[in-house]
């Protein structure tokens, strides 16, 4: 080797970035921290990193480095959030102050530190493998930041900002905890912060507004989980549904397009131990949706509840004490202070043996006689990264189910999977409070039984210790339903979920007889669920207009982005007939509205949300205004096809159309969707789940303009087949890999999505090597 090349590689190693072909030092004796970190990174098309390391610390190091390269501002801001410092750096608005108080309380309570206590078996506390990954991620992020410098960051969102700093391992554990409690404590943040005993001085600056959303029946689309802004579709296709006889999975999570809940594509490998391609949320070191060589999986938001209310009987004259089995217990009061630009702000929180006291005005008030505390069963969930790590090591869906049974880690999602043998799996194997039918009957007071029946929210009698959540004999930890009480189905045809409950995961074998806290059974499904099932049945029958029968990954992609609007398929013709008969209507504000142009646009609507679909926005606004009202009843014996007839006698139908026309004032009612729905100036196909669209895209209407920014919808999309030659198929990250507008990977996949294109699965060495844009480099940090 020429002397110049030797000196070049030596200099690169010293700098921490090594050109392709340089030798990574073999691990020496001593701790991982002593040995340092090393990872091989191969950037493929669209900036997707394929990371290989000799151990999990090195793997985490590579992940932290590349995620910092692409999304350092997102990670840094999330760290500010979970450390309760938003008010200090971003202003002292009410929402930021409430957030800071919530997270500072968690820090004072040492919730993250407690997650790390106990035997390192992945159940009692995180394993050494996971701890190594987290430690490596922090080291990789810090290595990038140290090499680059805050002042030289290319992302203007955080270049030169004082809030961008090196990470600590505790920062990462805090962000993990925040993700776990999203459908529990975090959803109740405002109510936790606002809780104060009767007669306490109002603290308007931080009390905030606690809305009815905490106690309602959930969002349109069937999601009762309290995880606002996220949802998903997923298919697990078995041997009878695919043309090859191998398993196939569609992953189609609907997540935010901005902020820390964005996905990040990557392929992670520790030779002989772990080899998984897929995606994780930004800031997480492990694949959460993806595949290995023989099994693939995805997740959808579950309808199950993640917390229970505990009604407290208060001691007369002392609203901060409560009775349990006739004996008084005092609440634990803790005053938390946060620093803001306008000075310190303090708030006193109240905790009980069950958890924090929470208020929801009008529903769960703190009076002289009664208060309510919440038990969030994910608040102690330290098992998630171990669970996802072991899922990635499973060889088939039966082994994957064994991982779920052991770790019981999925915080608020279902799992849908398939393997190379052609077996598919569905399970709502998530973390669910142990409210069995017997517990519900014995411990939910009569006044709250209707709430439980309608929404799955359990209000337990906190005055009796016998009404504590207890432990199932097969549960990984106390307080949650064990595997025997959770709905699971193996199939050789298909399983699916689109955020309704477990009931119709397999219409041929409905899941029934489970506790109400998991979700409803034999009840009406959302339009999106019905469309998802109809798409599969039509594909298997060959009646969907596509060639052949059964699924290939190409046909699965076509079905996913077929962009059918099922609500319009059911009611558009009746709606057009109605507005032709009665071409004017009264809007909600009492104004008379001419429906002629809207009626004409709807009559020409192609019932899809493609870029060239005209009038799609009119139907979407009609659906959002509550216009899809059926005349016929739901039939539990025909759940995919009922109800299906528009109730043209219901005056709210015409009012909804009038409201839609008003909202669209200044926007042509016959406009092509691609002209008015965009992201980064790129035309975007897809539409609202409320209208019955499978490929969900949520973009708020800007009056007189259209829909210029997507806030939520299809994100990481994967159609993967497990075959004899290894995994193959298609995938895309709709909003692209990087949030940095100066990155080449800021909008490239968004443009690809716009034309319904795809990137290919790149799992095998041959698939990776064939990428025409492959760029290889190594990152190394010498040991101390």
Catalytic residue set: 232
Structure-block tokens of residue 396: 């088939």
CA dist 456 and 443 (Å) reads 14
| CB burial string 749-762: b at 16+ within 10 A, e below | bbebbbebebbebb
Element (H, E) at 561: none
Check if the beta carbon of residue 321 is closer than 8 Å to that of residue 332.
Answer: no
Alpha carbon 457 to chain centroid, angstroms: 21
* Residues in Cβ contact with 6 at an 8 Å cutoff, skipping those fewer than 6 apart: none
CA dist 376 and 526 (Å) reads 27
CA dist 527 and 567 (Å) reads 7
Check if the beta carbon of residue 210 is closer than 8 Å to that of residue 190.
Answer: yes
Q: SS3 sequence, 291-336?
A: ECCCEEEEEEECCCCCEEEEEEEEECCEEEEEEECCEEEECEEEEE
* Residues in Cβ contact with 713 at an 8 Å cutoff, skipping those fewer than 6 apart: 254, 257, 686, 695, 696, 697, 698, 699, 734
Angle at which helices 169-180 and 94-108 cross, to 10° = 110
Angle at which helices 596-604 and 651-663 cross, to 10° = 90
CA dist 517 and 531 (Å) reads 25
Q: What is the DSSP letter of 509?
A: S
Alpha carbon 374 to chain centroid, angstroms: 22
CA-wise closest residue to 714 among 628, 572, 566, 609: 609
Check if the beta carbon of residue 101 is closer than 8 Å to that of residue 348.
Answer: no
Helices H, strands E: what count in the chain?
23, 31
Q: What phi and psi, each to the nearest 5 degrees, are found at residue 698?
A: -115, 115
The Cβ of residue 487 has, within 10 Å, a number of other Cβ atoms equal to 24
C-alpha angle with apex 414: 426 to 216, nearest 5 degrees? 130
Check if the beta carbon of residue 502 is closer than 8 Å to that of residue 487.
Answer: yes
Write the DSSP string, 135-199.
HHHHHHHHHHHHHH-GGG-S-TTTTT-TT-----HHHHHHHHHHHHTTTTTTTTHHHHHH---TT
* Residues in Cβ contact with 283 at an 8 Å cutoff, skipping those fewer than 6 apart: 67, 74, 75, 78, 172, 175, 260
Which stretches of 639-766 are assigned E, i.e. beta strand? 678-679, 682-683, 697-698, 712-714, 716-723, 726-733, 759-760
Torsion, Cα 96 97 102 108, to 10 degrees, reads: 120
Task: Return the SS3 of 593.
Answer: strand
* Residues in Cβ contact with 274 at an 8 Å cutoff, skipping those fewer than 6 apart: 56, 59, 268, 389, 392, 393
Check if the beta carbon of residue 708 is closer than 8 Å to that of residue 678.
Answer: yes
* Residues in Cβ contact with 446 at an 8 Å cutoff, skipping those fewer than 6 apart: none
Q: Which residues pair with 278 in a beta bridge?
A: 266, 290
CA dist 421 and 680 (Å) reads 42
Write the DSSP string, 355-407.
EEB--BTTTB---SSEEEEEEETTTT---HHHHHHHHTT-SSHHHHHHHHHHH
């Amino acid at each position: 080797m020429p002397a110049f090349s030797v000196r070049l590689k030596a200099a690169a190693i010293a700098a921490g970035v090594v050109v392709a072909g340089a030798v990574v030092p073999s691990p020496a004796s001593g701790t991982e921290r002593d040995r340092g970190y090393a990872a091989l990174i191969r950037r493929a098309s669209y900036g997707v990193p394929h990371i290989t390391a000799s151990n999990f610390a090195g793997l985490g190091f590579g992940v932290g480095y590349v995620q910092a390269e692409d999304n350092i501002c997102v990670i840094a801001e999330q760290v500010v959030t979970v450390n309760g410092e938003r008010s200090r750096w971003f202003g002292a608005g009410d929402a930021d102050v409430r957030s800071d108080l919530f997270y500072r309380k968690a820090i004072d309570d040492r919730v993250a530190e407690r997650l790390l206590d106990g035997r390192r078996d992945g159940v009692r506390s995180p394993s050494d493998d996971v701890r190594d990954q987290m430690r490596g991620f922090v080291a990789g992020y810090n290595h990038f930041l140290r090499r680059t410098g805050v002042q030289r960051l290319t992302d203007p969102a955080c270049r030169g900002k004082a809030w961008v700093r090196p990470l600590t391992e505790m920062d990462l554990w805090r962000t993990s905890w925040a993700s776990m409690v999203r459908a529990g404590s975090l959803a109740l943040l405002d109510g936790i912060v606002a809780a104060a005993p009767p007669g306490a001085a109002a603290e308007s600056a931080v009390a905030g507004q606690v809305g009815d959303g905490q106690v309602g029946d959930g969002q349109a689309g069937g999601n009762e989980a309290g995880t606002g802004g996220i949802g998903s579709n997923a298919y697990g296709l078995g041997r009878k549904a695919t043309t090859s006889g191998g398993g196939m999975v569609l992953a189609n999570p609907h997540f935010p397009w901005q902020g820390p809940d964005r996905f990040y594509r990557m392929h992670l490998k520790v030779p002989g131990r772990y080899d998984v391609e897929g995606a994780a949320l930004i800031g997480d070191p492990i694949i959460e949706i993806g595949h290995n060589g023989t099994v693939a999986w995805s997740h959808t938001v579950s309808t199950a509840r993640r917390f229970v209310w505990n009604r407290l009987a208060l001691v007369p004259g002392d609203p901060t004490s409560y009775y349990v089995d006739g004996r008084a217990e005092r609440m634990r009061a803790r005053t938390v202070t946060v620093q803001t630009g306008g000075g310190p702000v303090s708030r006193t929180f109240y905790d009980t043996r069950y958890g924090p006291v929470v208020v929801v005005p009008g529903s769960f008030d703190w009076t002289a006689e009664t208060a309510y505390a919440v038990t969030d069963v994910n608040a102690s969930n330290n098992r998630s990264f171990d669970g996802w790590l072991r899922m990635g090591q499973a060889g088939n869906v039966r082994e994957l189910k064994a991982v779920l049974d052991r770790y019981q880690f999925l915080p608020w999602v279902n799992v849908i999977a398939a393997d190379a043998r052609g077996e598919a799996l569905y399970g709502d194997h998530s973390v669910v409070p142990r409210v069995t039918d017997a517990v519900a009957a014995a411990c939910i007071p009569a006044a709250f039984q209707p709430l439980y029946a309608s929404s799955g929210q359990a209000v337990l009698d906190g005055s009796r210790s016998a009404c504590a959540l207890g432990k199932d004999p097969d549960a990984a930890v106390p307080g949650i339903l064990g595997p025997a009480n959770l709905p699971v189905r193996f199939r050789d045809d298909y399983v699916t979920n689109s955020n309704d409950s477990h009931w119709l995961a397999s219409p041929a074998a409905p899941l029934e007889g489970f506790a109400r806290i998991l979700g409803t059974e034999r009840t009406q499904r959302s339009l999106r669920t019905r469309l998802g099932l109809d798409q599969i049945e039509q594909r298997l029958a060959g009646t969907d207009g596509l060639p052949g029968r059964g699924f290939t990954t190409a046909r699965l992609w076509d079905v996913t982005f077929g962009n059918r609007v099922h609500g319009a398929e059911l009611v558009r013709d009746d709606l057009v007939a109605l507005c032709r008969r009665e071409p004017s209507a009264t809007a909600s504000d009492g104004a008379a509205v001419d429906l002629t142009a809207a009626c004409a646009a709807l009559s020409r609507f192609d019932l899809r949300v493609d870029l060239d679909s005209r009038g799609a926005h009119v139907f979407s606004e009609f659906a959002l205004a509550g216009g899809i009202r059926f005349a016929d009843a739901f039939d539990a014996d025909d759940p995919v096809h009922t109800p299906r007839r528009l109730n043209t006698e219901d005056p709210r139908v015409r009012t909804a159309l009038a409201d839609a026309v008003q909202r669209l004032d200044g926007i042509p009612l016959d406009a092509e969707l691609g002209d008015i729905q965009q992201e980064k100036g790129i035309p975007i196909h897809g539409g609202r789940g409320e209208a019955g669209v499978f490929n969900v895209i949520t973009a708020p209407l800007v009056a007189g303009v259209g829909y210029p920014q997507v806030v939520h919808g299809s994100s990481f999309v994967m159609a993967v087949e497990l075959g004899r030659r290894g995994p193959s198929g298609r995938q895309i990250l709709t909003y692209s890999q990087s949030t940095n507008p100066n990155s080449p990977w800021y909008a490239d996949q968004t443009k690809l999505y716009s034309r319904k294109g795809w990137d290919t699965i790149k799992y095998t060495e041959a698939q990776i090597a064939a990428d025409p844009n492959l760029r290889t480099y190594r990152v190394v940090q010498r040991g101390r």
